[in-house]
Amino acid sequence: MFYREAGQYKTSYAADQAIFPVLQDRLGLIAILIVAFVVIPLSGNEFLLQAVMIPFLVFALATIGLNLLTGYTGLLSLGTGAFMGVGAYACYKLATVFPQVNILIWVVVSGFFAAGIGVVFGLPSLRIKGFYLAVATLAAQFFLSWCFIRIPWLYNYNISAAIEVPTRTAFGVPVTGPTATPVTRYLVVLSIVVAMTWLASNLVHGRIGRMWMAVRDMDIAAELIGIKLYRTKLLAFAVSSFYCGVAGAMLAFLWLGAAESESFNINQSFLVLFMVIIGGLGSLTGSFFGALFIWGLPIVLRNAPGAFGLSITAATVEHITFMVVGALIVFFLIVEPNGLARLWQIGKQKLRVWPFPY
Amino acid sequence: MHMKQLALGAAIASMVAVPALAEDIFVPLLTYRTGPFANSGIPIANGMHDYLSMLNERDGGIGGVKLAIEECETGYKNEKGVECYEALKSKKPVVVNPYSTGITLALIPKASVDHIPILSMAYGLSASANGQDFPWIFNPPATYWDGLSMVIKYIGEKEGGLDKLKGKTIGYIYFDGGYGLEPIPLLDQLAKDYGFTVKKYPVPPADMQNQSGLWLNVRRDRPAWMIMWGWGAMNPTAVQEAAKINYPMDHMIGVWWSGSEDDARPAGPGAKGYLSLNFNSVGANYPAIQDIQKYVIDKGNSQTAKDKVGENFYNRGVMNSVIMAEAIRNAQQLTGKKEVNADDVRRGFETLKITPERWKELGLEGFAGPVNVTCTDHNGHHAAYVQQWDGTKWVKVSDWISPMKDKVQPLLDSAAQDYVTKNQPWPKRTETCDKSS
Amino acid sequence: MDLLYQIFIDPFVQMGTAPDLLVQTLWEGLVSGVLYALIALGFVLIFKASGVFNFAQGIMVVFAALTLVGLYEKGVPAFLALALTVVVMLGLAVLVERLMLRPLVNQPDIVLFMATFGLTYVLIGLGEMIFGGDPKVMIADQLYLPRGAIDVQMLGGFVSLQKIDIAAAVIASLMVAALAVFFQKTRIGRALRAVADSHKAALSVGISLEQIWVVVWFAAGIVALATGIMWGARSNVSFALEIVSLKALPVLILGGFTSIPGAIVGGIIIGVGEKLGEFYWGPLLGSGIESWLAYMIALIFLLFRPQGLFGERIIERI
């Protein structure tokens, strides 16, 4: 009833090929953006911003990065955490060596360093496929984790062996460091994520995205029609690592305010992989769903007993969280192996014909 | 649909911060009862929680005001620690115990801006002993650098004098993270001063239980002494491996965080002779601990197993809570208020003075050494002693050893300076200094 | 020049001057290789029969060991606890088959792989909740596993062979032999191989997929229990073991995902390579290289022989 396209005529090819052809979709997107940019900061709830929204956005970006590699190109990667770390440490070195340059520029530039490392570890992808490639990325993960501790130059010889984020300002307002307010940081993270999602959306709907999906679906056929496999795969690694690197820089600078090698360990890689799988392989909206689900669910579970007046020890809540997350992962995989994005699509489909069943 | 409503409701509920009752003093405990460091974290969490509970039950709180105790599970992970801190900030905590050097380092800049005191008892950033630069961070009774100097002193004593260390090799096996890397600058300095060589053996956190290769290296290098800076699952594995290669256990000495009974017990008879530093006592034979038994454990309000009361790390947790309780009491005396806030408790910490008589009043006579904190010295650089594992329990085998203040102080000052310059703009201290009564 | 000497000459000089340490290193590598192989064996079993890469194998090792120790701490005598743990693993296999595998029949491999991830999380939470997070001591003495070491005087020094390591090697070989016989000679073994080839074809021949899966997950559970006992006896039983199971991946790369002898050989190669590398070349790089050396070895191996030593060559059909 509400979601009908009847009456919406397209008068140009561009309008017809738009990503959101239905007006309601576009309105919905604008509504979401308004809520994100205006309503949430105005609500001012520090916990919501600091502990829910900022990490959700950071992980959503990393999930988009991994999704580009695993979902769109079909190359399973378990090195996401390490690539995020490369971005974070690169940003730290750049910020401390060139303190006068705006930190936001460095956050984005650090992605290129991560892209470079990603390409290096993606080089085996021509000879190795599928699972075996995952082991190659595991090598990247453990090797880079080791480097983050063992190369003191990376953390400026700090005694703590950790990145200590200096206070930096943008347009006169402190953006990183302890004086930066959650609202400021949230808006910065949100802007970067929105911009990069827009970029990813264009990539994915264009020629490059189609090349990636061709490689994923049947790489021999793709080669036959003229797609250069090596270059496509390396480009996928590069772009994916770029996104992960920026996400990592934001994690260190705009969320935690500190980071060390353990912040980018194998568990982080698994976490992002869960988000990709639950959200849906090969879907950008799915990346956001997956990140929200995997990040938000433990928080809800942790706070729910308190809100309902039950007193359960913190450790038991932790255990229950693990179990519920695990069980829900299995549940979602059974119910909808294509992830939350597919459920969303089905939901929209049903809405289009609502209140009729078909 | 039901799921969605439940989730939405819970989400909204979680957004509404549940404030602590206005009459209570909120004391959060950042603990870890899960994960690879749980074996060290659980007894400490128990000790911290039980002592404060006991104060609530026996005395009705501190100065008549009850303490609202809440544990937040961090798993020794930095992000979780920061998340716990942010989540609990709105409940107006009067002090935060991160119980992890990594989390402490992440929270130091935040706490200085949010004005919440951090108690990092004998861990964290050694340089934060400098009260001028770190008005909100406290780490009595001794820093890691003090501890390391005490270890070297003990080794020197055993060898017949610090000059006898010349030419010897001392091995340093450590947790490959902020905690284990922290003392290394002092170690290198002391090696230069006294002429011994240091062989470093880092244990990666991901692989703490797989140390056999590392200890093969120890067997090859044959250091005269081994110093251990371990935590969590690393400790018992290291002791077992040392026993396996027949390393003389009475030449292996761990810092106070490597001195739990659970660290030495799994190695069985091979662990006999293992040494460690300590600054509190072991045993349940104190009136206060009997009170804990009576008011908390027997009533079923504790997660502690009966036979674990009085063990080293349990008592360590108790000591942590004693320091907090005394600071809160101090704050109440200083300000005359009953419901003190974070600013007041900071002043309470800065005037902290636990004399041996005060320990006796608390029902913990001889439990630990005196604790003195001043405005400029947030640590006190107090002494510790060496204890030895005799197969079933810890036995004190040395006098109280004081740290090498002349070596440690200049390094601390320069490290604090270093930290401040690296983290510009660093808030200059504006808090006034109270003279302790 | 000095660096070249350090990389290429010095380690061998060290090997020559302290041969007892070399033998010790080789022995340590052998032992850890055998333990990696045991974990890899569990992976191979499940992969061979159901095409599922069971990421939860590591946590099954921990869970089995914890159940055993937990039951013993509750007062159950050691061997009865062992039997009960076997029953628990059977129960786990049945549950997994019914709740996880049956609904996911014929889904792509990545989905099943992710489902085992979910299973891992569930087992971690369950294990910690029931047994507590603190590490436990394995009841090695009660199971009559030998303690102590044999110090063999040789080559100018001594080589210390822990008796528990010898026991582990023996038990592992027995297990491998038993499994090899099981797969080759028995009817169920053949059925397992049929299922590994194609689910649909096996169904059409009348092989009950559900039964086979229960059998194979149960077998993997037994292997997990043995691994847990051995590994727990050497160090503690704690959740840190779970990450070590990731090391089984390079073993599988070398040995092939479907080969049981390959798991053993791969495990030994990885174990020995790791220990030798860490001991002789580790100090050059700052030590601690054990954390990534195995994966690098596997990676280099993959570049030259993607199917592993014993794996089947993948023939691509367009």
In a domain, A26, yes or no: no
Residue A167 or A159, more confident:
A167
In a domain, A221, yes or no: yes
**pLDDT digit string (tens) for A203-241?**
999 999 999 999 999 888 999 999 999 899 999 999 999
Alpha carbon distance B437, B229 (integer Å)? 37
Half-sphere exposure of B238 (CA within 13 A, CB side): 33
**B236 DSSP 8-state letter:** H
* pLDDT(C106) > 80: no
* Residue A138, SS3 per DSSP: helix
**Is C2-304 CATH 1.10.3470?**
yes
Domain residue limits, chain C: 2-304
Length of chain B: 437
Note whether B275 and B253 are within 8 A (CB): yes
CATH for A323: 1.10.3470
Region B113-121: mean pLDDT is 92
Note whether B184 and B418 are within 8 A (CB): no
Mean pLDDT (chain B, rounded): 87
List B62's β-bridge partners, or say none: B65
Min Cα–Cα distance to chain A from B11, Å: 6
In this prediction, residue C240 has a pLDDT band, given cuts at 50, 70 and 90, of: low
Q: Name which of B136, B52, B91, B89 is nearest B346 in CA terms.
A: B136
- Closest by Cβ to A316, choosing from C115, C129, C246: C129
List C157's β-bridge partners, or say none: C154
* pLDDT(A101) > 70: yes
Residue C110 or B236, more confident:
B236
pLDDT over 70 percentage in chain A? 99
**pLDDT digit string (tens) for B65-102?**
999 998 888 888 887 888 888 888 888 899 999 998 88
Residues of A (89-108) whose Cβ lies below 8 Å from B: 96
In this prediction, residue A111 has a pLDDT band, given cuts at 50, 70 and 90, of: very high
Provide long-range contacts, Cβ within 8 A and 24+ apart, for B178-181. B178/A159, B178/A160, B178/A161, B178/A162, B178/A260, B178/B101, B178/B102, B178/B105, B179/B100, B179/B101, B179/B102, B179/B123, B179/B229, B179/B231, B179/B257, B180/B229, B180/B230, B181/A159, B181/A160, B181/A161
Do residue B105 and residue A317 have CB atoms under 8 angstroms apart? Answer: no
- Which single residue is written with the structure tokens 């990421």? C55
Q: Name which of A306, A301, A293 is nearest A320 in CA terms.
A: A301
Q: In Å, what is the CA distance from B32 to each residue of A133, B73, B272?
A: 35, 5, 29
pLDDT of residue B18: 44
Which residues in B lie closer than 8 A to residue A259 (C-beta atoms)?
A: 78
Q: Of 1.10.287.130, 3.40.640.10, 3.40.50.2300, 3.30.43.10, which CATH number belongs to B144-280+384-405?
A: 3.40.50.2300
The DSSP code sequence of B86-124 is: HHHHTT-BS-B---SHHHHHHHHHHHHHHT--EE-TT-S
pLDDT of residue A108: 92
Q: How many CB atoms lie within 10 A of CB A30?
A: 10
pLDDT of residue C195: 81
Interface residue ranges in chain B relative to chain C, Cβ cutoff 8 Å: 33-36, 38-39, 42, 176, 200-204, 206-210, 212-214, 216-217, 219-220, 233, 236-237, 240, 244-246, 262, 265-266, 268
**pLDDT digit string (tens) for B147-157?**
999 999 999 99
- Closest by Cβ to B113, choosing from A55, A179, A263: A179
A319 in C contact zone (CB under 8 Å): yes
Q: How many CB atoms lie within 10 A of CB B377?
A: 17
**pLDDT digit string (tens) for B332-342?**
999 988 888 89
Q: How many CB atoms lie within 10 A of CB B199?
A: 18
pLDDT of residue B209: 78
Cα A292 versus chain centre, distance:
10
Domain residue limits, chain B: 21-143+282-382+414-422, 144-280+384-405
Q: In Å, what is the CA distance from C283 to each residue of A82, A150, B239, C1, C256?
A: 23, 12, 22, 18, 31
Min Cα–Cα distance to chain A from C139, Å: 25
- Closest by Cβ to A330, choosing from C118, C286, C292: C118
The DSSP code sequence of A78-125 is: --HHHHHHHHHHHHHHHHHHSTTS-HHHHHHHHHHHHHHHHHHHHGGG
Q: Which two tokens stand for residue B105?
A: 């380092």
A229 in C contact zone (CB under 8 Å): no
Domain count, chain A: 1
pLDDT of residue C318: 44
Which residues in B lie closer than 8 A to residue C28 (C-beta atoms)?
A: 212-213, 216
* pLDDT(A303) > 50: yes
Alpha carbon distance A43, A41 (integer Å)? 5
In a domain, A225, yes or no: yes
Do residue B106 and residue A146 have CB atoms under 8 angstroms apart? Answer: no
pLDDT of residue A57: 96
- Closest by Cβ to A319, choosing from C117, C129, C298: C129
Alpha carbon distance C124, C102 (integer Å)? 22
Mean pLDDT (chain A, rounded): 88
Dihedral sign from CA coordinates of A96, A147, B214, C142:
positive
Note whether B103 and B74 are within 8 A (CB): yes
pTM of the complete model: 0.88
Which residues in C lie closer than 8 A to residue B246 (C-beta atoms)?
A: 160
Do residue A277 and residue C114 have CB atoms under 8 angstroms apart? Answer: yes
Query: Cβ-count burial of A259 within 10 angstroms (0-12 exposed, 13-18 middle, 19+ buried)?
Result: buried
**pLDDT digit string (tens) for C113-131?**
888 888 988 988 888 888 8
Do residue B216 and residue C279 have CB atoms under 8 angstroms apart? Answer: yes
pLDDT over 90 percentage in chain B? 44
In this prediction, residue C317 has a pLDDT band, given cuts at 50, 70 and 90, of: very low
**pLDDT digit string (tens) for A315-331?**
787 788 888 888 888 88
Q: Which of A270, A297, A323, A325 to mutate to test the interface with C (most CBs of C within 10 A)?
A: A323
Q: Which domain holds residue A122?
A: 50-353
Region B365-387: mean pLDDT is 91
Q: Name which of A67, A79, A62 is nearest A286 in CA terms.
A: A67
pLDDT of residue A66: 96
Do residue B87 and residue A47 have CB atoms under 8 angstroms apart? Answer: yes
Among A54-58, A198-202, C200-204, whose mean pLDDT is lowest?
A: C200-204
* Residue B368, SS3 per DSSP: strand
Region B126-136: mean pLDDT is 90
* pLDDT(B20) > 60: no
pLDDT of residue B257: 93
Q: Which of C131, C151, C161, C236 to mutate to test the interface with B (most CBs of B within 10 A)?
A: C236
Region A333-347: mean pLDDT is 88
CATH class, B21-143+282-382+414-422 region: alpha beta
Do residue A47 and residue B31 have CB atoms under 8 angstroms apart? Answer: no
Which residues in A lie closer than 8 A to residue B97 (C-beta atoms)?
A: none
The DSSP code sequence of C157-214 is: EEEEEEHHHHHHHHHHHHHHHHHHHHHHHSHHHHHHHHHHH-HHHHHHHT--HHHHHH
Residues of A (242-271) whose Cβ lies below 8 Å from B: 256-263, 265-266
* Residue B27, SS3 per DSSP: strand
In sequence order, the 6+-apart residues with CB closer than 8 A to the CB of A206 are none
Which residues in C lie closer than 8 A to residue A270 (C-beta atoms)?
A: 117
Among B152-156, C210-214, C242-246, C294-298, whose mean pLDDT is lowest?
A: C242-246
**A264 DSSP 8-state letter:** G
ipTM reported for the complex, 2 dp: 0.85
Note whether B164 and B217 are within 8 A (CB): no
Q: Name which of A117, A115, A116, A134 is nearest A125 in CA terms.
A: A134
- Which single residue is written with the structure tokens 């561009």? A14
Please confirm whether the linkage preceding A355 is cis (ω < 30° from 0).
Answer: yes
A300 in B contact zone (CB under 8 Å): yes
Task: Tell how strand A258-260 and strand A162-164 pair up.
Answer: antiparallel
In this prediction, residue B191 has a pLDDT band, given cuts at 50, 70 and 90, of: very high
In a domain, A175, yes or no: yes
pLDDT of residue B14: 42
Among A92-96, B211-215, B394-398, B432-436, whose mean pLDDT is lowest?
A: B432-436
